[in-house]
Homo-oligomer: A and B are copies of this chain.
């Protein structure tokens, strides 16, 4: 247990060469600096034999590169989202031999700054700053002291840091298209946001962009949205309340819920009113939260590509580290497509005969 690790010097001594040689060989620069094949073989073999592993701290101190990325998020716990984003990032990082430092701020700007500093202290090669729901964020001071990426977030003020986000507008179009293609023309209601583009939860990019996409398609198809209900929290209870409110005045034929938890609440309200999904009311929602596949009938939902988002962030970060050496260009926004998850919550409406 407490036994000393094998160092470069140990390998050098055991092979009978200098540490320089060992270092070069193991870095794959042996040929370049004309170390003979024989020596290379011997070095590799003794290194293997002694179980040599390079000390990342030492390398980091010398070269400035630590094979490490910092991942700072506001909240990992309250949503599955975080887990899969982190997972995507970890896998992408691990493929390149990188590890992830994880930190959670709870949304506190002081903690955010402290985390970013602590990561720079540990000389991370870059930082991913992630939000758990798609929104605008204040970029913490010091974030752009090194390569950085915003994940699932846009900077509130101007910032040179690039962003990686789901393509919410297209997701909005996709959701609307599902209803339009299924023949729905009337009795369409929105649960969670609208009717105006500003009737959204604070800082929510997702809500606004989904609305934009939906309204484009509905308008083009001549579908009128009967009512829309803004909900600040997007939890099941809010969906339940909003749906009850709708049922008080209308007989809806289709609900678009701005996420699956709202849809879950809507299901409850519909069940209470003895309305069946999808025979009486079609339901479409967003996120592909696990609950979407647990309810009966399963929800048709536009999936947040958490895993891809995380992986993409790492990719962009690497690209940024490269570019940084050459030139600084304008900040970029990368959009990751959202896919349709088909459930059984949408009914095909027979086209009205003209």
Contact = CB atoms under 8 A, between A and B. Distances in A.
Contact of A56 (B91, B121, B268): B121
A66 B66 CA distance: 13
A99 interface: yes
Q: How many copies does the complex hold?
A: 2
Contacts of A97: 118
Contact of A1 (B121, B145, B291): B145
Contact of A90 (B1, B102, B144): B102
Interface string A48-59: 000001111110
Contacts of A271: 271
Contact of A83 (B66, B68, B83, B117): B83
Nearest to A119: B99
B291 A268 contact: no
Interface string A69-86: 001000011001011101
B76 A77 contact: no
A99 B60 CA distance: 17
A86 B78 CA distance: 12
A123 B294 contact: no
A68 B100 contact: no
A87 B76 contact: yes
A338 B111 CA distance: 29
A183 to B, nearest CB: 29
Contact of A100 (B103, B120, B291): B103
Given A56-B122, A90-B104, A94-B103, 18 more contacts: A1-B145, A1-B146, A53-B120, A54-B121, A55-B123, A56-B121, A57-B57, A68-B122, A76-B86, A77-B80, A77-B83, A80-B83, A99-B101, A99-B103, A100-B103, A265-B294, A271-B271, A291-B291
17 contacts: A1-B146, A1-B324, A57-B57, A66-B122, A76-B83, A76-B86, A77-B80, A83-B83, A87-B104, A91-B104, A94-B103, A97-B118, A99-B101, A101-B101, A101-B102, A264-B294, A291-B294
Interface of A: 1-2, 53-58, 60-61, 66, 68, 71, 76-77, 80, 82-84, 86-87, 90-91, 94, 97, 99-104, 115, 117-123, 144-146, 235-236, 261, 264-265, 268, 271, 291, 294, 296, 324
